[in-house]
């Protein structure tokens, strides 16, 4: 028996279309991967452990939405009810249809519209645990599960605060069409199944049957006609949703699966726009979680956050201002439920804008650098905060370390400020110059006071010697008893610099160090969630007053627990925060230096 009716066509055609469109995109992205990534992918797919790990992450993130749960339980439940509920509905619907058709080869539409084709006999009282009853029970249960998520989605439009979100994203036309059809799918299914159950007087579950009986009693029109219309509507909204999916934000559903596989195979973002970047861009669901956590919101900047930037990349048009209007502090990257490397995408775009700009550093001639065990590189920013240099030199001398201050007569920049503007090629000239200088010292360790330098030394320099930020170095000196400590500060709040914290994941060393010389007070948003001080070199398009607003917002959080001193480990943060703080802002090197008893 062939079960067919013309109303299944919109759904079937939509389904075929979405499979072809997604398949084409997947094929294109995989084919366009750089050769090295292709090798990684094929090797990864031969590795059962990696596949299992990827599948586990797909289950946890794409269906359960674990990171969304962490963000806010209501938000997590809403996403889970749609994703997991729909997934289980498809699985159970398929099993149910196999039970009825008795064959393994069903038309793809058959499970979806099963209740139209099958009107099972009424389940009698003693048959409540029969197979058809259980199927109906769980199918209705899953439908309620999804509809509860739909109710929450409606509520979120009105009361986004309940979902832990102050701001929600504004969407494109295609997104609006897609979300409308998505929201209509399940109410349509409910109505179609209910009317059918009500008309035939059987075949429904614990929800659809009573609802169907009720609706049929209300409707003046012939209810078989209404039911048939509802099936048409159900098929149509499904079909339209499928056709819109590749052109809307819902493309993130199939793309994220591929992205998770890519990541588990060890594929990483490149310095240029690769097809890995494209999968990252398409995986952005535009949920807007990055909006609330962006420090720029404090300055009233609401058009260049990660979600809007990525949306622009996807539409192949990003105004220059949008690319440059970002602190590159990495906070959005920490909260992104998909884990998109937003900073690296931003820098790729900046490279496209500025990489062609000329530079000429031939005026740099190799000077004389002395020799020493430890080479201390203070960095450009530290030259603007000479107290840090004074403290570091004092501590190093006191500890009896054979050190050389590499940039005593002014720094050659480490290269990161150029790189953050997208000028990697130009930065390489400076990197090579500094590398030669450092090599000449024959030191076995490089210590820097600037997190910006520290990050680029670690990521780009490939030096054969140990590299430490001064927080790590000083902690080591104290632990090995090289410097005596006497004084003690009370109530110090620590501000995590972006490049040291999120940039190099150095959270513990500065805190442990402060613990040795002061009482550390808690800060509401710290470590991964720390606010940028507003002085970031990554920002180009913010005015001075906008930067001040960001600094004040960061300070407000720091002073919540009434600290007497604010400590940080970055000269740029010290300088920026110091302008607005009502208490002293000190680098941790200064704290340590002041705690050393004077001879």
Partner 1 sequence: MKDFGFTVQLDHSIDYDAKDKRMMRYVLYHEPSLDWCIGCGSCTATCSAGQFTLFNIRMAHTLLRRGETEKLKQELKKCMFCGKCQLTCPRGVNLRNVLLRINRAIELFG
Residue 307, SS3 per DSSP: helix
What does the alpha-carbon distance between residue 551 and residue 156 come to, in Å, rounded to a whole number? Answer: 31
Neighbours of 320 (CB within 10 A): 14
Q: In whole angstroms, how close is the CB of 485 to partner 1 at the nearest point?
A: 32
Helix or strand (DSSP H, E) at 266: none
Q: In whole angstroms, how close is the CB of 546 to partner 1 at the nearest point?
A: 10
Q: In whole angstroms, how close is the CB of 408 to partner 1 at the nearest point?
A: 11
Q: What angle do CA 572, 524, 328 make, to 5 degrees?
A: 40
Q: Which is nearer to partner 1, 55 or 364 (CB)?
A: 364
Q: In whole angstroms, how close is the CB of 540 to partner 1 at the nearest point?
A: 4
Which is it for strands 489-495 and 445-448: parallel, antiparallel or unpaired? unpaired
Q: Which is nearer to partner 1, 419 or 509 (CB)?
A: 419
**Long-range contacts (CB closer than 8 Å, 24 or more residues apart) made by 293-297:** 293/331, 293/332, 293/334, 293/335, 293/529, 294/331, 294/332, 295/327, 295/329, 295/331, 295/531, 295/532, 295/534, 295/550, 295/553, 295/554, 296/325, 296/326, 296/327, 296/542, 296/546, 296/550, 297/167
Q: Which is nearer to partner 1, 254 or 417 (CB)?
A: 417
Q: Which is nearer to partner 1, 356 or 484 (CB)?
A: 356
The terminus-to-terminus CA distance of the chain in angstroms comes to 99
> 332: Cβ–Cβ under 8 A, 6 or more apart, which residues?
290, 293, 294, 305, 306, 342
Strand partners, 376: 405, 447
Q: Which is nearer to partner 1, 230 or 318 (CB)?
A: 318
Q: Which is nearer to partner 1, 293 or 424 (CB)?
A: 424
Q: Which residues bind partner 1 (CB under 8 A)?
A: 320-321, 324, 353-354, 356-361, 363-364, 380-381, 383-384, 409-413, 417-418, 421, 423, 430, 535, 537, 540-545, 572, 575
Q: Which is nearer to partner 1, 68 or 380 (CB)?
A: 380
Q: In whole angstroms, how close is the CB of 384 to partner 1 at the nearest point?
A: 6
For residues 81 and 149, is the Cβ–Cβ distance under 8 A? yes
Q: Which is nearer to partner 1, 103 or 543 (CB)?
A: 543
For residues 163 and 72, is the Cβ–Cβ distance under 8 A? yes
Question: CA torsion 434→440→442→446, rounded to 10°?
Answer: -20
Q: Which is nearer to partner 1, 105 or 358 (CB)?
A: 358
Beta strands in 356-415 (DSSP E): 374-377, 403-405
For residues 454 and 416, is the Cβ–Cβ distance under 8 A? no
Report the largest interatomic distance among the alpha carbons of the chain, rounded to a whole angstrom: 100
> 292: Cβ–Cβ under 8 A, 6 or more apart, which residues?
164, 165, 166, 167
Q: In whole angstroms, how close is the CB of 544 to partner 1 at the nearest point?
A: 3
Q: Which is nearer to partner 1, 227 or 412 (CB)?
A: 412
What does the alpha-carbon distance between residue 266 and residue 257 come to, in Å, rounded to a whole number? Answer: 15
Which is it for strands 518-521 and 584-587: parallel, antiparallel or unpaired? unpaired
Q: In whole angstroms, how close is the CB of 327 to partner 1 at the nearest point?
A: 13
Q: In whole angstroms, how close is the CB of 357 to partner 1 at the nearest point?
A: 4
Q: Which is nearer to partner 1, 115 or 325 (CB)?
A: 325
Q: In whole angstroms, how close is the CB of 63 to partner 1 at the nearest point?
A: 44
Q: In whole angstroms, how close is the CB of 414 to partner 1 at the nearest point?
A: 8
Sequential DSSP letters for 554-584: HHHHHTTT--SEEEES-HHHHHHHHHH-SSE
Q: Which is nearer to partner 1, 253 or 353 (CB)?
A: 353
Q: Which is nearer to partner 1, 229 or 387 (CB)?
A: 387
Closest CA to 165 of 78, 71, 300: 71
Q: Which is nearer to partner 1, 115 or 423 (CB)?
A: 423
> 36: Cβ–Cβ under 8 A, 6 or more apart, which residues?
none
Residue 442, SS3 per DSSP: coil
Q: In whole angstroms, how close is the CB of 418 to partner 1 at the nearest point?
A: 5
Q: In whole angstroms, how close is the CB of 290 to partner 1 at the nearest point?
A: 23
Residue 446, SS3 per DSSP: strand
Residues 46-61 as b/e (b if ≥16 CB within 10 A, e otherwise) read eeeebeeebeebbeeb
Q: In whole angstroms, how close is the CB of 453 to partner 1 at the nearest point?
A: 10
Q: In whole angstroms, how close is the CB of 316 to partner 1 at the nearest point?
A: 20
């Amino acid at each position: 028996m062939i079960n067919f009716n013309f109303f299944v066509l919109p759904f079937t055609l939509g389904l075929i279309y979405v499979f072809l469109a997604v398949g084409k995109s997947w094929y294109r992205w995989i084919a366009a991967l750089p050769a090295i990534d292709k090798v990684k992918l094929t090797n990864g797919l031969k590795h059962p452990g990696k596949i299992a790990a990827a599948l586990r992450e797909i289950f946890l993130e794409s269906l359960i939405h674990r990171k969304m749960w962490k963000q806010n339980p209501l938000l997590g439940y809403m996403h889970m009810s749609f994703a997991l509920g729909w997934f289980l509905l498809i699985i159970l619907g398929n099993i149910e249809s196999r039970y009825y058709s008795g064959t393994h080869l069903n038309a793809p539409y058959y499970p979806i519209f099963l209740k139209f084709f099958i009107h099972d006999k009424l389940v009698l009282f003693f048959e409540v645990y029969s197979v058809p009853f259980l199927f109906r029970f769980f199918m209705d249960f899953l439908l309620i599960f999804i509809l509860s998520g739909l109710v929450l989605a409606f509520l979120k439009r009105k009361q986004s605060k309940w979902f832990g979100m102050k701001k929600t994203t504004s969407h494109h036309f295609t997104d609006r069409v897609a979300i409308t059809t998505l929201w209509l799918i399940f109410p349509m299914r409910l109505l179609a199944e209910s009317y059918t159950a009500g008309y035939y007087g059987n075949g429904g579950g614990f929800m659809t049957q009573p609802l169907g009986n009720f609706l049929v009693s209300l409707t003046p029109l012939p209810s078989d006609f209404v039911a048939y219309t509802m099936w048409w509507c159900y098929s149509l909204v499904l079909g339209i949703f499928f056709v819109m999916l590749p052109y809307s934000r819902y493309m993130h559903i199939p793309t994220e699966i591929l992205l998770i596989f890519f990541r588990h195979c060890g594929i990483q973002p490149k310095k240029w726009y690769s097809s890995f970047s494209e999968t990252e861009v398409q995986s952005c669901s535009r949920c807007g979680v990055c909006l609330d956590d962006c420090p720029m919101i404090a300055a009233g900047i609401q058009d260049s956050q990660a979600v809007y930037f990525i949306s622009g990349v996807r539409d192949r048009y990003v105004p220059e201002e949008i690319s440059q209007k970002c602190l590159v502090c990495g906070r959005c990257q920490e909260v992104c439920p998909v884990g998109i490397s937003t900073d690296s995408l931003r820098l790729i775009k900046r490279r496209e804008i500025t990489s062609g700009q000329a530079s000429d550093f031939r005026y740099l001639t190799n000077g004389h650098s002395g020799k020493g065990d430890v080479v201390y590189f203070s960095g450009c920013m530290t030259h603007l905060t000479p107290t840090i240099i004074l403290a570091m030199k004092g501590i190093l001398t006191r500890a009896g370390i054979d050190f050389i201050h590499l940039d005593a007569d002014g720094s050659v920049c480490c290269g990161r400020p150029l790189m953050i503007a997208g000028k990697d090629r130009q930065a390489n000239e400076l990197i090579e110059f500094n590398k030669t200088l450092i090599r000449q010292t024959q030191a076995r360790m490089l210590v820097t006071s600037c997190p910006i330098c520290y990050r680029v030394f670690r990521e780009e320099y490939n030096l054969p010697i140990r590299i430490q930020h001064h927080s790590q170095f000083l902690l080591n000196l104290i632990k090995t008893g090289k410097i005596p400590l006497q004084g003690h500060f009370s109530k110090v709040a620590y501000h995590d610099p972006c490049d040291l914290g999120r940039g190099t994941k150095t959270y513990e060393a500065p805190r442990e160090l402060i613990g040795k010389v002061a009482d550390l007070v808690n800060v509401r948003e710290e470590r991964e969630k720390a606010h940028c001080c507003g002085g970031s070199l990554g920002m180009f398009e913010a005015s001075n007053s906008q930067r001040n607003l960001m600094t004040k917002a960061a300070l407000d959080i720091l002073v919540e627990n009434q600290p007497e001193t604010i400590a940080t480990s970055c000269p740029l943060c010290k300088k920026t925060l110091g302008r607005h703080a009502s208490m002293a802002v000190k680098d941790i090197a200064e704290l340590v230096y002041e705690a050393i008893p004077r001879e």
